[in-house]
């Protein structure tokens, strides 16, 4: 097994992972669906993996969906629990067109099985047909997100009724975000294009290439109101970055409360996906206190050539999915933190490691973490300068240093997680997140810390197996 393969993050046994397709928590079992190719020349299809009790021990199932008939590929979408059923919403790609299809996952509670045939499909999944097709004004629907709708969006304590779908339509160079609604989560009616009331930020102005909309509902810890957090991926010059805008969706109008902010400042995190829940998996009284999201760790985005990755050359697999991130909303700003149980999982792993520190970093000082390969040479450097956080991986991958702004104040927390070729960093109590791929020669042997100027490491915790 290559040292680049992560232990706790999901990565395919083989093939090219293209995006998380959807996630759902069923009791204590995590189900993650993903879009991938079996090899560079094969069409995209859906895979399925699950992990019991914690989201760190992933086991693959037979694939749920593959192209049929005239389809040239299947792309990501959403997974939702509808009553006692689980629906898969996916993008069907044909020559010159895309549409949104629906499939039903029967006997969802049964144990997944894996066939000796890598092309075999899970027999418990039944296609139900086309869910959203071309309309008079909008065509080429793709990348759906499905969540429960509100009885009254202005009085959210009344609960949910019906279903909401956000999707993308139109030309890839000028996509349009569109809203659909449904009573049964199967038959959908076009509500209209998504419009913003208030300033959503430059990244969401007309002319920007905005894709992969996802919506998460969170209760802000400051004013205790329930908001919609709209997460999107921005494509520009062949490179992607993801972010969010906070507000309240009423009809097709998104009333902006806080404009666009970056979700992750690292090199490789993109295409975030929310986690939905089966009934009873989460206490209804706490369901909006926090959410869980996954993202793709792949390189520059859609145009990334996975065959150039070292993991492909050495092991015929490429890309990974981030650890699930616990997401909370505080004063209109998202905070992301590692999932519960991660220290124990790292302690039980054979190669993963982590470093957490409480710091005081006055302006003009810095704390530097060196992430070292098997020979003790730095493969990446993380530098906390008080007002900025830097991740430099140029020693292992030719790329510019990733830089994130930090909140005012000298005291801070910093957590770094290394798992195979994945590095995830959380700072400012989770207000800043950075994820990047780093290839360590022989694996990551150690994380060493040093200070400069008046910076001080008040306390630190380090888990390492080397």
Q: How far apart are CA 192 and CA 169, in angstroms?
A: 11
Q: Is residue 148 within 8 Å of 78, Cβ to Cβ?
A: no
pLDDT of residue 238: 76
Q: Which of 361, 354, 352, 351 is nearest to 337 (CA)?
A: 354
Helices and strands per DSSP (H, E), number in the chain: 2, 33
Mean per-residue pLDDT for 314-340? Answer: 96
| Backbone dihedral region for residue 316 (phi beyond 0: left; psi -120 to 50: alpha; all else: beta) | left
Helices (H), 98-235: none
pLDDT of residue 83: 83
Helices (H), 66-193: none
pLDDT of residue 11: 95
| pLDDT of 148 strictly over 70 | yes
Q: How far apart are CA 239 and CA 420, in angstroms?
A: 24
Q: Please, which residues have CB within 8 angstroms of residue 340's CB and are 6 or more apart in sequence?
A: 326
pLDDT of residue 205: 86
Q: How far apart are CA 117 and CA 138, in angstroms?
A: 40
- In tens, the pLDDT along 201-238 reads 998 988 888 899 999 999 999 999 999 999 999 988 77
Question: Is 404 or 115 the better-scoring residue by pLDDT?
Answer: 404
pLDDT of residue 267: 94
Mean per-residue pLDDT for 342-358? Answer: 94
Domains of the chain by range and CATH?
15-332 (2.115.10.20), 342-463 (2.60.120.560)
**Is 0.85 surpassed by the pTM of this model?**
yes
pLDDT of residue 111: 72
Counting other chains too, the contacts that 56-59 makes at CB distance below 8 Å and 24 or more residues apart are: 56/7, 56/8, 56/323, 56/341, 56/342, 56/345, 58/10, 58/32, 59/112, 59/114
Judge residue 70's burial from the number of C-beta atoms within 10 Å of its C-beta, 0-12 exposed, 13-18 middle, 19 or more buried. Answer: exposed
Mean per-residue pLDDT for 32-44? Answer: 96
Q: How far apart are CA 34 and CA 183, in angstroms?
A: 27
pLDDT of residue 160: 92
Residue 351 — very low, low, confident or very high, per pLDDT cuts 50/70/90? Answer: confident
Mean pLDDT of the chain: 93
| pLDDT of 42 strictly over 90 | yes
DSSP-assigned letter for residue 308: G
Q: How far apart are CA 357 and CA 427, in angstroms?
A: 10
| pLDDT of 366 strictly over 80 | yes
pLDDT of residue 404: 96
pLDDT of residue 207: 82
Three-class SS state of 211: strand
| pLDDT of 411 strictly over 70 | no
pLDDT of residue 294: 96
| pLDDT of 86 strictly over 90 | yes
pLDDT of residue 466: 61
Residue 304 — very low, low, confident or very high, per pLDDT cuts 50/70/90? Answer: confident
Q: How far apart are CA 120 and CA 61, in angstroms?
A: 10
- In tens, the pLDDT along 275-292 reads 999 988 999 889 999 999
Mean per-residue pLDDT for 182-187? Answer: 95
Residue 2 — very low, low, confident or very high, per pLDDT cuts 50/70/90? Answer: confident
| pLDDT of 114 strictly over 80 | yes
Q: Which of 28-42, 108-122, 377-391 has the lowest mean pLDDT?
A: 108-122
Question: Is 143 or 303 the better-scoring residue by pLDDT?
Answer: 143
């Amino acid at each position: 097994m290559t040292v680049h393969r992560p232990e706790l993050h999901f990565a395919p046994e083989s093939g090219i992972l293209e995006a998380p397709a959807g996630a759902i928590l069923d009791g204590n079992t995590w189900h993650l669906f993903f879009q991938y190719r079996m090899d560079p020349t094969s069409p995209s299809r859906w895979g399925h993996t699950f992990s019991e009790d914690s989201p760190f021990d992933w086991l693959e199932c037979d694939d749920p969906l593959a192209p049929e008939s005239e389809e040239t590929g299947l792309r990501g979408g959403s997974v939702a629990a509808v009553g006692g059923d689980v629906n898969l919403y996916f993008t069907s790609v044909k020559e010159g067109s895309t549409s949104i299809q629906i499939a039903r996952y029967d006997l969802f509670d049964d144990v997944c099985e894996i066939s000796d045939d890598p092309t075999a499909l899970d027999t418990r999944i039944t296609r139900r047909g086309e869910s959203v097709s071309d309309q008079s004004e909008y065509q080429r629907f793709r990348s759906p997100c499905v969540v429960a709708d509100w009885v009254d969006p202005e009085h959210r304590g009344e609960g949910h009724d019906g279903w909401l779908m956000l999707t993308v339509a139109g030309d890839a160079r000028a996509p349009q975000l569109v809203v659909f609604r449904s009573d049964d989560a199967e038959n959908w009616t076009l509500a209209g294009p998504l419009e913003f009331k208030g300033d959503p930020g430059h990244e969401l102005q007309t002319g920007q290439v905005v894709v992969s909309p996802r919506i998460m509902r969170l209760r802000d810890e400051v004013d205790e109101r329930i908001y919609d957090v709209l997460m999107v991926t921005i494509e520009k010059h062949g490179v992607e970055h993801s972010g969010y805008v906070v507000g309240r969706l009423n009809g097709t109008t998104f009333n902006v409360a806080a404009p666009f902010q970056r979700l992750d400042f690292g090199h490789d995190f993109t295409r975030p996906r929310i986690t939905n829940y089966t009934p009873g998996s989460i206490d209804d009284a706490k369901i909006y206190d926090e959410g869980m999201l996954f993202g793709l760790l792949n390189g520059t985005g859609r145009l990334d050539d996975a065959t150039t990755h070292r993991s492909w050359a050495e092991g015929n697999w490429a890309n990974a999915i981030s650890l699930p991130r616990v997401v909370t909303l505080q004063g209109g700003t998202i905070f992301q933190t590692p999932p519960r149980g991660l220290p124990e999982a790292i302690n039980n792993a054979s190669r993963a490691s982590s470093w957490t520190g409480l710091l005081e970093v006055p302006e003009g000082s810095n704390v530097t973490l060196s992430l070292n390969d098997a020979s003790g040479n730095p493969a990446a450097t993380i530098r906390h300068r008080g007002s900025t956080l830097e991740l430099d991986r140029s020693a292992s991958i030719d790329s510019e240093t990733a830089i994130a702004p930090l909140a005012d104040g000298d005291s801070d927390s910093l957590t770094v997680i290394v798992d195979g070729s994945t590095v995830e960093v959380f700072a400012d109590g989770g207000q800043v997140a950075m994820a990047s791929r780093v290839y360590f020669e022989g694996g990551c042997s150690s994380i060493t810390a040093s200070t400069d100027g008046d910076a001080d490491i008040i306390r630190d915790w380090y888990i390492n197996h080397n």
